[in-house]
Structure 1
Amino acid sequence: MSVDPSSLIVVLGTAVNAVVLGADLPVEVDEHVGTFTESVEQGAAQLGAELDAALATLPEPVREPVEHIVADTADRAVAGIEERIPEIGFVEPDIHTGMGIGDADSGAPVVAAPAGRPNPWGFGAPAPHEAAPDPTGGLSLPRIPAVLPGVSPAPIGAVAVFAPWLKKAGEICDGITAPVLAALYSVENGFRHGPSAPVSPAGARGPGQFMPGTWDAYGKDADGDGKADVLGIADPVMASGALLCDNWSRIEGWKRDGRVMGDTLGLTLAAYNAGLGAVLRSGGMPSGLPDYENQTKPYVAKILSARPIFERVLSPFIALGLPAIGDGGQRVIDEASRYLGLPYVWGGGNIHGPSGGGFDCSGLTSFAVHAATGISLPRTSETQWHVGTEIPLSEALPGDLVFGNWQAAGPGHVGIYIGGGQMVHAPTTGDVVRVGDVFTDMRARRIL
């Protein structure tokens, strides 16, 4: 199939927005998307296999530099695509190529991890797959970086469907929290799960990238469906939580004995990647070997830097560190969060949902409040200000409305408070529905 790439981007953008809005696709668009998707899935696997075969024929001393060149070329291609699709928010996946957990002198399961290679396309890995069910209905919605800069790529709906299990696994021990697990999963495999989720060249599988020996030791049927599914959601998340907590406990003991030094969380994450034995041998953060310097240390740094962002991302779903949320307030947040990443459209949206391709600020609040509670708000931010009771911003609870951009007629902007100084809102033309900081001039009203 020979098609101009820019036309495909336009077609895909049209398709995604149309499906999000519940519209019927034009026949020519529907057919074009189906043909393109099938071609990409087939072509990606073929290209990956050919690349793997070609690279395998190279002498060892030159193979790694060539792989770097291939990866750099892919990076430039992705950068060119990103310029063409700002509203879809496509971001290069960060596929972690293998995790080695435990080795002989640690007493943990023996699993080796070969060196990772810089490979944004996965060289022969199966095409990414979003397994149903999830809150997006299986759609490839805009990814988190389009909503919160700096987050590793993952559809916001995927994070939502993982959230209950992240919360549960984050309660196994004090050291490992839900945001830590979420950040780890964003680095490991971008929350991709299901039969066609990418498999690392080393054979690590599922959203938690478990090697077979480690899965045999920790994989259990957490959701009661009769099987321990490494490709699922509940089972890998709970297995990761148990493994991390075991590693945390072991490392804390070694620290008390003076055998290792360093931050326990960082060392625990390093053990997930390189094995407990690597931590013990190094007396702390694994160092000295190329794998440790080029893979393990950056891996830990990525997770630790993403953790505070996932504290924000997860807060609408599991209320991390927030005041108690009433059922109504949580439902309002949930309804608004369904449309994270949808474009801002001036005058867009009402109690029935988005219109014209998206929401404006008061259209989003009108929809979310009505969908959650049945309350019909006036349509504009100025008129919504007169509903309910004003409260000090310091006393705002999740689900309260926050107003700002004050003008002679009243507030020019409105959002939904989610706690921690954050709100979900539709900011302005050219932007998308997102989680962001509450403005300095904002005032709050309680309508529930």
Structure 2
Amino acid sequence: MNALVKAAMALVALFVAAILALVVGVIAVDKAGAVQLSDGGGGLTGVPAEFRPWILKASAACSHRELSPALLAAQIKQESGFRTDLDSPVGAQGPAQFMPSTWATWGRDVDGNGSASPRDIGDAVMAQGRFMCSLLGQAKSSGIPGDVRALALAGYNAGWGAVTGARPPGIPHIAETENYVRIILSSMAKFEGPGLLQVSGSGSGPDAVRRAITRVGTPYAWGGGGPSGPSTGFCDGTNGYLNGSCSASTTVGFDCSSLVLYAYWPSIKLPRTAAEQYGATSNHAVSRSDLQPGDLLFWAHGSSIYHVAMYAGDGKVVAAPRTGRNVEISPLTSAMPERDYYGATRP
């Protein structure tokens, strides 16, 4: 009996040791892999990269917090499956499926390409956000009981008159509208990502960080981007290539220094390249222990600066890292090779 007990205890000890080794291994992998936030923050995940900045921007522009990024994303998924070329049999167009008469009220050229089109992602998503924000306001002031998000969605699908005209007022008894509201509200969870980094303080630095964060998810394009937003870039014989082809020339996005330029413009008009930005701000160097939101961080090979990022607070940076990646929020300690860290400045 004692021999059996001892044998059993030995087996238990081996099992416990194996479990501990597994746990330690998992923790080590987690620490090694924690080079960036899973989706850059923003309370949004699972959407095409080209939609992401516009969804975040549309949500942030609405004073009604019920218009979350996840709600807008779930609505676009239901409307079009994120397709820009979709035309419905009744004439609705684009990713947010605007009818021409409704588009005439809400459509604007927000992406700066010279035309307001329901098929342009930026124009469509921002119009969707304005329309939904207005409907949420009407739902709140109407006194109609129920989830104001459901009422707003019903108004988007069937018209606000159908909501107020229902008996009793509320979601109209239309099968399409009832399913529309149910599917969107039940599918929101799949689009809910990690929360957007909260930036404290006021002034040009924190404001620049807040502006940069609205571009999380925008692709990297070498030579692309400027004060007015993302644009296609170019290749210079060394940079801008992905898998052997010139990715930058067909990618609308930012590179590291154009994101910083965009974030600070027009309150501070920084020069274009990372090296120039260091030269323009190096008279106000900042130690790593005194970093504040908006401070510029530089990495270099020797004395040749090759990358700039913005300190976002809480030990994190916001940056456009390299070709093939998107604008992201990541830990300062792993944003770039630690050996290449050159210093920080305050514009």
Question: TM-score scaled to structure 1, two decimals?
Answer: 0.38
- Higher RCO (Cα < 8 Å, 6 or more apart): 2
Where is the strand percentage greater, Structure 1 or Structure 2? 2
Give the structure with higher Rg (CA): 2
